[in-house]
Structure 1
């Protein structure tokens, strides 16, 4: 039956093509699940570092009363999205060795610290200039003047504390990046 050999040959070619396509797809999926090497962590770490730097700048500008609460909190909120994306990316890395697992876990812990600082920054930036935080004492006497006495950036609305928290989170991330060889 010469016709049946042609049919089997056609099905054989199709089967080979399908198997080859599946092999390529499996390779691509395996490549998507990266290992948490310094090179793979470089992008997410730099994204988070940029996000915390941008939020720090927003807080500094707000302390100087050079921006609005809405602009500052929007910047912090946008940067939270960047940290969330980077965190999702790093969580997707497979860590077959203890060293890689430790590096991934340290990076995720640092990202969580940054995320907390960004949340606090967003909340503090949302507070209108000069408004005290709930539970803080109300000043008495004449209207205060300057950032040290109740305006934006004073201890009453928490921006200096948030700025310190952001800088601490930045230092922690920078130290981890240096330790991991991420430049």
Structure 2
């Protein structure tokens, strides 16, 4: 009976966790990894080491990872103003990363013309602004993680 009660308390508390640093750490690290992975895909495309299709697919997969992390954070509840502020800041950072990932995915997939488009070695210079956006989004989340004491 006591074991059943303990399990129920665990289930109920996991459904609405407080957005403590510990509860946010996993989603924040996932979103950070997604942004960095997409930046790496863009860099590879800029260097001509991958195709547009491969980069676009990677960006789309990372967008799904950030969507999942966002849902995890939305599943937490704030017990005080500081927790609410942290949760709101995390969600705002995730939104910035999501936008950057969408822009990267779309830029990687966008036809630039010519028979070589999408192939390794075609001109991907239009990706530089996207790469800058990804770096800014990553820096925003890194600053928030540092502020929250997450390494």
Does TM, normalized by the shorter one, top 0.5?
yes
CA distance in 1: counterparts of 2:130 and 2:99, whole angstroms? 10
Residue 55, structure 1, aligned to residue 26, structure 2: no
Residue 172, structure 1, aligned to residue 114, structure 2: no
Cross-structure match for 1:181: 149
Q: Give the TM-score, by structure 1 length.
A: 0.73
Q: Which of 1 and 2 has higher RCO (CA within 8 Å, sep 6+)? A: 2
List runs of 5+ in structure 2 lacking aligned partners: 114-121
- Alpha-carbon RMSD across the aligned residues, in angstroms, is 1.7
CA distance in 2: counterparts of 1:83 and 1:102, whole angstroms? 20
Residue 71, structure 1, aligned to residue 50, structure 2: no
CA distance in 2: counterparts of 1:27 and 1:38, whole angstroms? 19
CA distance in 2: counterparts of 1:76 and 1:101, whole angstroms? 30
Q: Give the TM-score, by structure 2 length.
A: 0.88
User: Which 4+ runs in 1 deviate beyond 6 A?
Assistant: none
Q: Secondary structure at the match of 1:40?
A: helix
Residue 152, structure 1, aligned to residue 123, structure 2: yes
CA distance in 2: counterparts of 1:73 and 1:24, whole angstroms? 43
CA distance in 2: counterparts of 1:60 and 1:23, whole angstroms? 49
- For residues 52-105 of structure 1, the C-alpha deviation after alignment (integer angstroms, 9 at most, x for no partner) is 000000001111121111100000000001000000000000101000000000
Q: How many residues align?
A: 143
Q: Secondary structure at the match of 2:13?
A: helix
